[in-house]
A and B are shown apart, each in its own frame.
Chain A
Amino acid sequence: MTTPVLEARDVTMRFGGLTAVRSVDFTVNSGEIVGLIGPNGAGKTTFFNCLTGLYVPTEGTVSYQGKVLPPKPHLVTKAGVARTFQNIRLFANMTVLENVLVGRHTRTKEGLWSALLRGPGFKKAERASEERAMELLEFIGLAHKRDHLARNLPYGEQRKLEIARALASEPGLLLLDEPTAGMNPQETRATEELVFAIRDQGIAVLVIEHDMRFIFNLCDRVAVLVQGEKLVEGTSEVVQADERVVAAYLGEPFEGEPADDTGTAATAEETDTADETDAAPAPPETPAAGEDTGPDTAEPDGTGPQSTASTKGDTP
């Protein structure tokens, strides 16, 4: 029960003069649901990005099942750590099924040649992938919408689909970045059920969340990050009782504020990897006009709608 899946040792992340994360030690054990909370600008997302290989920590190491994770997102996923995004990042112009199939990328290896030659091996692998993907869609209850475009799904289903897509890579650890942002209470409860179900499959889960009630209901253990440092860690009761946590939160504006981590957002220009989970999402009134999806500027179809959908959702 206490085999550590993920171990962050002494992780520090500095952007120029600003230290966003300061020597954080953090562990997720197998079969555990761990929450990571903190007020705006606490460095949660930066820390998250260190875990997923988007950032290379200035100091310290992150290891998964005893092996140090390589600082490349795709290798991290391959190693067995999957993630979702704070503002949903589905492949908007792909169908629901295709989205999940993309998630299977690391668990299949048919290259260009086998795609062109279409041997029996290829067909078998495709069929297996599709079966697995359909299982996952059944699991989240979207099997009947397999041929719909992801962009046309309602908000809550987009969230679910993102989780299914992450699960498709058969992770040992799932990182959820604000999975209930913008959800109504029923949807939040459904998500809760989903996370428990995922845990029951033997996958450890790390959740970043603003919604305290959700976190305390869900998590076996909660860590609180304030100003880049781990303030306290323990069971829900321990954390809830901690005065410093209350103080840290009271010092901040209302918790439902859509923007978080403004501190690190300010430093975004220092970093090389575009990362939207960190910066303030556009306010809801804004049309999707400027919502550029980061580095892939050559993409022909903007993924505007989904970002809009998410920003809409951010204000209850």
Chain B
Amino acid sequence: MTETTKTPDTPGTPSADAVIAPDRQGLIPLPAAAARALTLVGGIATVASTFLAWTWTADFPGDLTVYGYPGGLQWLTLVGGALVALFALAGYGVRGLGWLAPAGPTGPAVLTALGALGVTWYTVIAIAVELGGLVNLEPGGYVAAVASLTTVIGAFGLPAGADETRRAKEAFTAYLKAHGRSRLRLAIAGVKFLNAYIGKPDHIAAPQTVPGWLQRLAVTAVTMAGLGIFSYGIDIPSEEGETFIGYLVVIVFAVWALHTAGLLDRFSRLVAAHRGFALAMGFVAAILFPFTQTDDHYANIGVNILIFGTVALGLNIVVGLAGLLDLGYVAFLGVGAYTAALVSGSEFSKFSGVQFPFWAAALTGAAASLVFGVLIGAPTLRLRGDYLAIVTLGFGEIFRIAVNNMDGVSGPDITNGPNGIPSIPDLSFFGFNFGTAHDLGGFTIGRFANYYLLMVLIMAIVVLVYTRAADSRIGRSWIAIREDETAATAMGINGFRVKLIAFALGATLAGLAGTVSAHVTYSVVPNPYQFAGAAPPNSAFLLAAVVLGGMGTVAGPLLGAALLYLLPEKLVFLQDKSLLAFGVALILLMRFRPEGIIANRRRQLEFHETGQLDVPQQTTLTDEPAVTKAGA
């Protein structure tokens, strides 16, 4: 999303005024005033339509039958419509809304209008298809469909930069000319067109200086909004896969719109300015999450995401920072989980008499993983990268098979074989029993919420370890090794030693997360610790979370883990096609955004801060062809 629009020779379009200059015209030749009015009216009408009934039966998920207030997918349409209306108002130059679109309101308006159109039409079509015919639509549905279409027409009529329009058309035809026509190609060309059309200018006017407390307030507000949005998404019942798709559509277009509006840039600057504060707010939001939930199930999902995300973050040290390809990483999670289970006091444990307090169990688990990390790393880290991949893959398999066989029948009696170690007791801190629900200021905090909060703490530790390690002498040497090992050793870095530290640190963090996971699931069994499987955690999923989210970032693996966990969870209506969809989604994502959803800070630097035009042409081109192709 970020990179495509950058071409070194783009003249900057510095202010919103320039974009709305009268001689510029939109794609659809409408007078600017008419287009603006159309967009605004369409947006408001879209919002209004959500208060009507769209269908007659409650069979369609979310109950869209009610006049008077929206439900299910209608809420999403409402959000889309409201966003368009806001951007349209910003286009009128309404006082106080200028900050909404520092980079000009046309792009965001087009995108939000498309988002609203997408979610509305998706809903209407889904109603017609699932319930068997357009007759199932109430007038509200038609109103919504027409209103959202009007909005899009209006938005495309909004004045856009002539350059953008021309370049967009060129991009469209050029792509088709180069690749021939087919439905897929048309779609790609469409994305290219859109991308060029709504192109975000390279330079955005610097924001007015606002007082520090206001900036912090903004960070707080955004974080809380994020928490709200996330909670909304996680709360969509699994049966309502339609609503979740609508949710994704709105999110994607809204984020894209915010990006073209230049708000994301501004926000990341804010975050950079208040780094510590933003991080703290992030954790506050994470801690608040269970308080927004009434059902322990969502805390359960939350804790699983946190475990998965924490392990992914640990893997990010190994893969993202040090550039070591580890295909058996989940084994370290297993080592931690099994160690914790063995000393948990479960009657099925080989050492059933032993019950460590949790802090000791956590340290033991982490230490056991550390030992394994060193044992595996020491002989293999001298090997070349790809060999390391296969050796770690082998280690992962060895771990699973060994654990599966160590039941006293076909191996030493340690792990209870395929039955695993069940009946792991709940944790208890100073009389606070994690297994039971507690009342906290009127909120009920259930079992999984307890563990969720514990996991937030562990994740905080891991994030701290990650950021501190990354931003230090050792972190720099990891990145140096990743970038160019020969040069790094020539700078006096002992490659082997530094890699071993990364490998062992990653293992330790995974082990730490494993100790909690053993208690959360009551049991440890060998099965989950495999290379590739249908559900997280397994090594392939972990790696996918890191790469998908963005290597070398903190937020990336966490986001990737959340997505990879939630998508299969929420898209159950795909039934036995869900794995197929997942596989295809991985391929497409890598095809169109190989650097992951959240770009590395270093890439951000490259694209946002430097802005130097004396960059030799080839340095951008040779490295980035895959990126320049990236569409969405």
Contact = CB atoms under 8 A, between A and B. Distances in A.
Interface of A: 52, 54, 72-74, 77-78, 82-83, 85, 89-95, 98, 101-106, 108, 110-112, 115-116, 118, 122, 125-126, 129, 147-149, 151-152, 154-155, 165-166, 169, 274-276, 287-288, 293-306, 308-309, 312
A312 B612 contact: no
A275 B485 CA distance: 11
11 contacts: A85-B487, A91-B483, A104-B473, A105-B493, A115-B469, A152-B615, A152-B619, A274-B486, A275-B486, A295-B486, A298-B323
A111 B489 contact: no
Given A73-B489, A102-B488, A147-B605, 6 more contacts: A102-B476, A103-B491, A112-B469, A169-B491, A275-B486, A308-B618
B101 to A, nearest CB: 28
A82 B493 CA distance: 12
Contact of B622 (A77, A94, A304): A304
Given A149-B605, A297-B386, A309 B619 contact: yes
Interface in B453-509: 464-465, 468-469, 472-477, 479-495, 501, 505
A313 B440 CA distance: 68
A152 B487 contact: no
Interface in B182-236: none
A197 B462 CA distance: 46
Contact of A296 (B323, B602, B614, B619): B323
Contacts of A305: 618-620, 622-623
B474 A89 contact: no
A122 B490 CA distance: 24
A155 B616 CA distance: 8
Contact of A93 (B468, B479, B491, B609): B479
A54 B487 CA distance: 11
A94 B483 contact: yes
A95 B602 CA distance: 8
A93 B603 CA distance: 8
B491 A105 contact: yes
B473 A299 contact: no
Nearest to A273: B486
Contacts of A297: 384-386
Given A297-B384, A305-B619, A152 B610 contact: yes
Interface string B352-392: 00000000000000000000000000000000111011000
Nearest to B600: A93
B325 interface: yes
A296 B385 contact: yes
Contact of B483 (A78, A85, A148, A301): A301
B396 interface: no
The 5 A-B residue pairs with the shortest CB-CB distance in the complex, in nearest-first order: A298-B385, A296-B485, A106-B492, A115-B472, A77-B492
B618 A92 contact: no
A54 B493 CA distance: 13
Interface of B: 319-320, 323-325, 384-386, 388-389, 464-465, 468-469, 472-477, 479-495, 501, 505, 551-552, 600, 602-603, 605-606, 609-610, 612, 614-616, 618-620, 622-623
A308 to B, nearest CB: 5
B52 to A, nearest CB: 51
Contacts of B476: 94, 98, 101-102, 105
B487 A91 contact: yes
A118 B468 contact: yes
A166 B388 CA distance: 30
Contacts of B501: 112
Nearest to A175: B490
B578 to A, nearest CB: 29
A288 B620 CA distance: 12
Contacts of B605: 95, 147-149
Contacts of A166: 491
B469 A300 contact: no
Contact of A73 (B472, B490, B606): B490
Contacts of A122: 472
Contacts of B324: 298
B599 to A, nearest CB: 11
Contacts of B472: 110, 115, 122, 126
B546 to A, nearest CB: 10
A285 to B, nearest CB: 11
Contacts of B505: 112
A303 B483 contact: yes
Contacts of A299: 323, 385, 482-485
A98 B472 CA distance: 10
Contact of B551 (A98, A275, A276, A300): A300
Contacts of A112: 469, 474, 501, 505
Contacts of A165: 491
Contact of B320 (A72, A89, A300, A306): A300
Contacts of B622: 287-288, 304-305, 308
Contacts of A293: 484-486
A269 B177 CA distance: 45
B469 A116 contact: yes
Given A296-B484, A298-B386, A299-B323, A116 B606 contact: no
Chain B CB count within 10 A is highest, among A112, A118, A293, for: A112
B352 to A, nearest CB: 35
B323 A169 contact: no
B542 to A, nearest CB: 16
Contacts of A302: 623
A115 B475 contact: yes
B143 to A, nearest CB: 50
Contacts of B551: 300
A311 B81 CA distance: 54
B480 A298 contact: no
Contacts of B464: 116
B473 A296 contact: no
A77 B491 contact: yes
Contacts of A296: 323, 385, 481-482, 484-486
B610 A148 contact: yes
Nearest to A303: B484
Contacts of B485: 293-296, 299
A83 B489 CA distance: 11
Contact of B492 (A169, A300, A306): A169
A149 B487 contact: no
A102 B493 contact: yes
Chain A CB count within 10 A is highest, among B465, B468, B472, B612, for: B472
A149 B489 contact: no
Given A105-B473, A115-B472, A304-B623, A74 B386 contact: no
Nearest to A98: B476
Contacts of B612: 148, 152
A62 B319 CA distance: 37
A74 B385 contact: no
A151 B492 contact: no
Nearest to B319: A300
Contacts of A298: 323-325, 384-386, 388-389, 482
A115 B494 CA distance: 18
A115 B484 contact: no
B618 A89 contact: no
A74 B493 CA distance: 5
Given A295-B486, A298-B386, A94 B616 contact: no
Nearest to B485: A296
Contact of B482 (A148, A300, A309): A300
A102 B386 CA distance: 25
A78 B489 CA distance: 10
B623 A89 contact: no
A90 B479 CA distance: 12
Given A116-B465, A147-B609, A152-B606, A105 B490 contact: no
Contacts of B610: 147-149, 152
A149 to B, nearest CB: 5
A288 to B, nearest CB: 4
